[in-house]
């Protein structure tokens, strides 16, 4: 039976999530990939244990994570049953609903029916009474925002989630959602958005600045740009990369010679800082102190340990910041 590392809290940093009382680890583990029905269970379990043993207390899921949809939650429930459930009160477990989950008109979007039904299913799959954070996974233009936010409010009042969040909402959408939830008395505490050295949309649309000034947490996903901001692509596309094996999110035609040149240039900056490229990319996300947590994905425990090396990084100098910006712009 699993026994957690007694020194698990010695090195991790924890940041307050917006104006709430909840703190999240600076590095969180996402179960988007490599936790599905087609993946090796022992490896999943080893990754979760490695994460928790090193202070990663937050595990992020969604109803449709797999494949097949729902299998990541089922597998996480199995991991909980084999010793991790003893530490439930030390864990922050989040899940989401918003994208297509089951056939028909009620298995997608932002309706009250879909969100509450989906969370009930998620709780059964993980054998939990509640999740710590429940997110609406995407903006749904076909459902009144008031209905979606009222569903999130009801979920908190029912005790099925302690906090609620939104994901993939831009600044204006976030402001609208925040106003409704504030009036309802259940303010959301966090927005989950994609952010990396190569993808700065939350800076361009003003969300990053708005959230920091208004007490909203931000947790970022795809900080390594689907593996592009690692050493895997320094010499071209590996035969076993997701680009070659699936190509669903990162496509081969996106990895041009110009892009590889940028990756190599960024790697040189990382070397100068005494970091791997992945560690520097994660450190860069947290550079200004206005991001709550960065979500990492992994395919094996050693990747988690390497990524955690970012916790010991030194601040970025003005010169390093400018160099990184110049590489990306050029």
Query: With a threshold of 0.85, does the pTM exceed it?
Result: yes
For 16-35, letters b (16+ CB in 10 Å) and e give ebbebebbbbbbbbbbbbbb
What's the rounded Cα separation, in Å, for the pair 135 and 117? 14
Condensed to tens digits (0 to 9), the pLDDT of residues 44-94 reads 999 999 999 999 999 999 999 999 999 999 999 999 999 999 999 999 999
Domains and CATH numbers, the chain: 14-234+276-315 (3.20.20.100)
pLDDT at residue number 91: 98
Radius of gyration of the chain (CA): 19
- Compute the average pLDDT of residues 281-300: 97
pLDDT at residue number 242: 60
pLDDT confidence band for 131 (50 / 70 / 90): very high
pLDDT at residue number 237: 72
pLDDT at residue number 184: 98
DSSP assigned state of 51 = H
Strands of the chain (E only): list them. Answer: 14-16, 23-25, 27-30, 58-60, 92-97, 131-136, 161-167, 190-194, 217-221, 293-296
What's the rounded Cα separation, in Å, for the pair 314 and 55? 20
pLDDT confidence band for 249 (50 / 70 / 90): low
């Amino acid at each position: 039976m699993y026994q957690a590392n007694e020194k698990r809290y010695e090195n991790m940093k924890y940041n307050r999530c917006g104006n709430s009382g909840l703190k999240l680890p600076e590095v969180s583990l996402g179960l988007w990939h490599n936790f599905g029905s087609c993946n090796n269970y022992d490896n999943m379990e080893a990754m979760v244990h490695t994460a928790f043993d090193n202070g990663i207390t937050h595990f992020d899921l969604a109803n449709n994570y797999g494949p097949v949809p729902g299998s990541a939650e089922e597998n996480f429930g199995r991991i909980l049953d084999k010793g991790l459930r003893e530490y439930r009160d030390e864990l922050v477990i989040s899940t989401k609903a918003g994208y297509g989950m089951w056939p028909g008109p009620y298995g997608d979007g932002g309706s009250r029916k879909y969100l509450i039904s989906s969370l009930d299913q998620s709780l059964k799959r993980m054998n939990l009474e509640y999740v710590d954070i429940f997110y609406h996974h995407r903006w749904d233009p076909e459902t009144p925002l008031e209905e979606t936010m009222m569903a999130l409010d009801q979920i908190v009042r029912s005790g099925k989630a302690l906090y609620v969040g939104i994901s993939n909402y831009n600044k204006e959408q976030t402001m609208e959602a925040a106003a409704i939830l504030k009036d309802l008395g259940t303010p959301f505490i966090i927005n989950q958005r994609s952010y990396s050295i190569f993808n700065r949309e939350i800076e361009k649309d003003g969300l990053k600045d708005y959230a920091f000034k208004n007490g909203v947490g931000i947790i970022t996903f795809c900080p390594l740009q689907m593996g592009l901001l690692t050493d895997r692509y320094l010499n071209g596309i590996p035969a076993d990369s997701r680009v070659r094996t699936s190509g669903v999110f990162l496509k081969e035609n996106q990895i041009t010679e110009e892009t590889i040149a940028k990756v190599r240039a960024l790697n040189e900056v990382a070397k100068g800082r005494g970091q791997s490229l992945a560690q520097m990319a994660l450190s860069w996300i947290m550079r200004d102190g206005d991001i709550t947590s960065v979500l990492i994905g992994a395919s094996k425990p050693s990747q988690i340990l390497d990524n955690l090396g970012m916790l010991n990084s030194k601040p970025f100098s003005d010169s390093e910041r400018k160099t990184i910006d110049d590489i990306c712009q050029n």
